[in-house]
Amino acid sequence: MGVALNGGIPTNDISRSHKPLHGYYGSSASLEKSSKVSLSAVAELNRELTSLNLLSMRSAVLNVLRKCEILIDKRREKL
């Protein structure tokens, strides 16, 4: 178990629980098709992280990645 920062999530929980989201690591073609989604996700992530502290960064990143996954899946359904 890692060292908890200010009573928060132990540091090794982040790496231990990291799993690629479905469709997140795709082919270059699927990444090209989702580039607009990725850019908007990065912008949203940037806005969220500027208003959050380090302990809640993991949650914010996972929320944005889930939103990206949903948007990418919707775009795939249209194809």
| 35-39-42-43 Cα dihedral, nearest 10 degrees | -160
Placement of tokens 């795939």 in the chain: 76
Residue 14 belongs to a domain: no
Which residues have CB under 8 Å from 26's CB, separation 6+? 34, 72
pLDDT given at position 63? 86
The total domain count for the chain is: 1
Residue 48 lies in a domain: yes
pLDDT reported for residue 51: 67
Whether 73 shows a pLDDT value over 50: the answer reads yes
pLDDT score at 57: 73
Q: Is 8 in contact with 55 (CB distance < 8 Å)?
A: yes
Q: What does the alpha-carbon distance between residue 35 and residue 32 come to, in Å, rounded to a whole number?
A: 5
| pLDDT reported for residue 12 | 44
Q: What is the pLDDT of residues 15-69, one digit of tens each?
A: 444 444 444 444 445 554 555 667 777 777 777 776 666 657 777 788 888 888 8
Asked if the structure places residue 45 within a domain, the reply is yes
Tell me whether residue 13 is in a domain. Answer: no
Q: Is residue 53 part of a domain?
A: yes
Its domain, for residue 32, covers 28-78
Establish if 46 belongs to a structural domain: yes
| Residue 3, in any domain of the structure | no
In a domain, 17, yes or no: no
